[in-house]
Structure 1
Amino acid sequence: MADILTPTLGESVTEATIAKWSKKVGDAVRKDEILVELETDKVSLEVVAPADGVLSDIKAADGETVTPGTVLGVVTEGASDAAPTAKAAAPAAAPAAAETPKAAAPAASAPAAGAIDIAVPTMGESVAEGTIGTWLKKAGDAVKKDELLVEIETDKVAVEVSSPADGVLSEIVAADGATVTPGQVIGRVSASGTAAAPSANSGSANSGSAQYSAPASDTPLSPSVKRIVTENNLDPKAIQGSGKDGRILKGDALSAIGTAAAAPAAAPAPAAAAAAPVAQPRADQPREERVKMTRLRQTIARRLKESQNTAAQLTTFNEVDMTNVMALRAQYKEVFEKRHGVKLGFMSFFTKAVVAALKEIPAVNAEIDGTDIIYKNHYDIGVAVGTDKGLVVPVLRDADTLSLAGIEKGIGELGKAARDGNLTLDQLQGGTFTITNGGTYGSLMSTPILNAPQSGILGMHNIVQRPMAINGEVKIRPMMYIALSYDHRLVDGKEAVTFLVRVKELLEDPARALLDL
């Protein structure tokens, strides 16, 4: 017998709730088949069968609360051998059904002689599972060592899996969309250079990826690039890749869209005098398309909605005259970059101002835990970063101890790690306050949503030249709207407004921070 255990649930997550069993007692199960889903306050986890056999006992029913290591059920190994036979004998009127590829699939999973397993790598601390993206190769294709084969998505980061050796991709064990765990075999490479007959699993894996089939190209395309290329009918051979070994990055593909769109613009001109033909509406693609949300997008959606449902969120606004900060930046940016090796941006000024305001209004740096208030005496500032997979908020630790250069370097490193998908869970947890800059995308004003369990988030916006009344005269000044969303259960309106005014004062007169005024 093999116990079905509750896996590690993640840092600071001590319990989970049984959501739903997908099997009942007496059902035949196969190793790594999903049996039950657990829900925590942070993520949903799928628990799979530890072995082939029969689900002989369910010890934790739907709705029960469990902790890591709790036995959820028991699988009796080897007892499933007779089950397929009984099921195959039942439809006597259709004996050919026993010979379908689906029935033969389990036998095809045996590794071929000399084959090398492709295993799921470690995906980060407390990340227990991931989802197979789109395979870039199909069974029978030649592969080279370290060539990208597939991308695995987790609720935090994306992990690339490469070929372990030169040879042929002889088998795909885990199809597109399958849930996998660290160490699980997802495919095999035949190092001898000969391909085994594609299994039923590999066939289904590639049939599911037909929607985003990779166009012919000398280098493999990542799933995001492949999607852009396919949806916009681009030729990957015509796109100049700026990545390693000429690999096409998402930015290259997006740039190619504009180039491709400009070329046919002149084509309709000669036909302008002729009668306009009846347009065929979207004959090359469906009017609608259903795509499964990535784990990261599911996590973002769930956490944002949980934040709205839990906190009493309110937003207060103000505006900042950016004249002095911009002048200071323009005066010293070249010397600053030569001295510190990093550009002087606005984020360091805002971070310094936020930390100073948090020290004066500690409630904005606190959080609610049940009926307790936890006041933080450290200042770990989350910085929202937009990536092609979604919004992530890496944390700049101990921002109060950093200089402007240290802040700029730290934010730059976190931003690069976010865009490259190299953030660790430790870099995404434990923030006390968040700054988000919608101004980089042209936002004039917004009401940011709290990053739970934090009690405050500052929204930066676009800098716009506006006429302002200054000492009885109208002058044009670079102005920015700033917004503070806060949890009204903990932060009073007076504290929120005072906090935002303090940030405004420190930005409009940066010397105040140096003089501690």
Structure 2
Amino acid sequence: MATEVKVPAMGESISSGILAAWHVKDGDYVEKDQAIYELETDKITSEANAEVSGVIQILVQADEEVDIGQVVATIDESASGGAPAAAKTESAPAEAPAAEAPAATAPEPATAKVDPAATLSPAARKAAEETGVDVNAVDGSGKDGRVTKGDILEAAKAPAPAAKPAAPAPAPAAPAPRAAGERETRKKMSPLRRKIAERLVAATQEAALLTTFNEVDMSAVMKLRKQHQDAFVARYGIKLGFMSFFTKAVTHALQAVPEVNARIEGNEIVTQHYYDVGVAVGTDKGLMVPVIRDCDQKNFAEIEQDIAAYAKAARDGKIQMSDLEGGVFTISNGGIYGSMLSTPIINYPQPAILGLHNIQQRAMVVNGEVVARPMMYLALSYDHRLIDGKEAVTFLVKVKEAIEDPARLLFGI
């Protein structure tokens, strides 16, 4: 009996995807609930698991586009699993013994070469020193070819041979031409990347985008984290990060400035009375924005746990469509990559996005004195059709105040 492996439904708006990769090979034995392939759509990348155990037969190759409900493989439940029998290996033939090398013939004794300088007479040596003649280049006319004083003087009278002109330096070799494939490569955009591109272009075309900036002193938050980090980890099993502080600060600011917690639908302004904040997560497939639900009702530990779980699911390709839908506001932390300042683009139809940046020690004037403080730039991009400058600046100031004095979050002031 063979069970069909079909592409599951991923949401009403998704009708197809790319079968990005198989995690098994054709003919492999798979276990029930084992991840067998990866599906990439225009919104998420997710893994599909085997519904039964058996031997899989792959019908669609990787990188092909598939429709929702399409059969991409079958699993034969009647086939038994187990490791394949080990292939018998033939013993390699014994190597033939190396032939003995013939005995080396002893070299004939070389005739000792006479050093002309060593056989010079005192007079000949003095003449060589005075004239600078190289005695090794002089043919001796004395007994046994010895160089005499006369040979040296004759050599000194002979004109020096003309020096050979130096050969011209070779021209530098021209670099070898690069093959076409070495200069550039091409590949199709993934469905997720295409969707990201479409949404960003739509946001810039449909919204009147404006960005306002502020800076925040991170001293109080950093001190609070250091003071309570060990107890927090011991209690909740997760580290206290900056994102929970900013998520709570954004929730506080949305409550204080409800104009930012709204959206435009046609000719109507829809004001939202819930606080589902999206946190941008970078993956190797692209940017995803899972949504932390009901942030006004969650404490720091619950927010940190949600962020960590969603980030892991996004990077592992196990994020669900329901995890990405329904956010009212987005936080994007480019500071983890070293960004100093940026103008983020809103996650349309959301009206605004808060960009966080790198923390750097900068000289600040505090109580009339110049001191070093860990400072971060904040950037709020917003749809100016809906949010005026007064509301945008007030929102950003509320976030700044909550971060610089976290006790405000406890009292809602």
- Using structure 2 for the length normalisation, give the TM-score: 0.71
> How does 1:500-515 map onto structure 2 within 5 Å?
500-515=396-411
Corresponding residue for residue 104 of structure 1: none
In structure 2, the CA distance between the partners of 1:425 and 1:161, relative to structure 1 (3 Å rule), is: closer
Asked if 1:381 is matched to 2:277, the reply is yes
Q: Counterpart of 2:73?
A: 187
Q: Is 1:443 paired with 2:330?
A: no
Partner of 1:329: helix, strand, or coil? Answer: helix
Deviation at 1:135, TM superposition (A): 4.8
| Secondary structure class of the residue paired with 1:290 | coil
The one-letter amino acid of 1:332's match is H
How far off is 1:160 after superposition?
3.1
SS at match of 1:353: helix
SS of the aligned residue for 1:459 comes to strand
* Structure 2: distance between partners of 1:162 and 1:489: 45
Q: Which residue of 2 aligns with 1:464?
A: 360
Counterpart of 1:145 in structure 2 is 30
Distance 1:507 1:279 in 2: 57
Q: CA deviation at 1:188?
A: 4.1
Determine the C-alpha separation between the residues in 2 that align with 1:395 and 1:175. 30
Letter in 2 for 1:157: I
1:363 to 2:259 alignment: yes
Judged with a 3 Å threshold, the aligned counterparts in structure 2 of structure 1 residues 148 and 432 are, in CA distance, closer, same or farther, namely closer
Match of 1:404 among 275, 300, 306: 300
Q: Deviations over 1:213-249 (max 9, x none)?
A: xxxxxxxxxxxxxxxxxxxxxxxxxxxxxxxxxxxxx
**2: CA distance between counterparts of 1:168 and 1:510?**
56
Distance 1:500 1:281, change over 3 A: farther
Instruction: Summarize the Cα distance change of 1:347–1:279 in structure 2 as closer, same or farther, 3 Å threshold.
Output: same
How far off is 1:156 after superposition? 2.2
- 1:132 Cα deviation (Å)? 2.2
1:156 is the counterpart of 2:43: yes
> Could you say what the CA RMSD is over the residues aligned between the two structures, in angstroms?
2.8
Q: For residue 311 of structure 1, report the CA deviation from its aligned partner.
A: 0.6
Task: State the 1:117 CA deviation.
Answer: 3.6
**1:339 is the counterpart of 2:225:** no
Shift of the alpha carbon at 1:137?
Answer: 6.6
| 2:379 aligned counterpart, secondary structure | strand
- Matches of 2:3 and 2:257 in 1, distance apart? 59
On the 8 A contact 2:53/2:77 being kept in 1, the answer is yes
Higher relative contact order (CA 8 A, sep 6+): 2
Q: How many residue pairs were aligned?
A: 320
How far residue 120 of structure 1 moved from its aligned partner, in angstroms, is 2.2
Separation in 2, partners of 1:510, 1:336: 16
- Consecutive unaligned residues in structure 2, runs of 5 or more: 80-171
Quickly say closer, same or farther: Cα 1:116–1:505, change in 2 above 3 A.
closer
Structure 2 vs 1, CA of residues 136 and 329 (structure 1 numbering), >3 Å: closer, same or farther? Answer: closer
Q: CA-to-partner distance for each residue in 1:127-184, whole Å, 9 max, x for gaps?
A: 332222245677xx53121476542211222233466654464x534663223222x2
> Displacement, 1:414?
1.6
User: CA contact under 8 A between 1:325 and 1:508: conserved in structure 2?
Assistant: yes
1:314 CA drift (Å): 0.2
Look up the match of 2:107: none
Is residue 56–residue 73 contact of structure 2 (8 Å, CA) maintained in 1?
no
- SS of alignment partner, residue 344 of structure 2: coil
Q: Are 1:145 and 1:162, in contact at CA under 8 Å, matched by a contact in 2?
A: no
Identity of aligned residues (%): 53
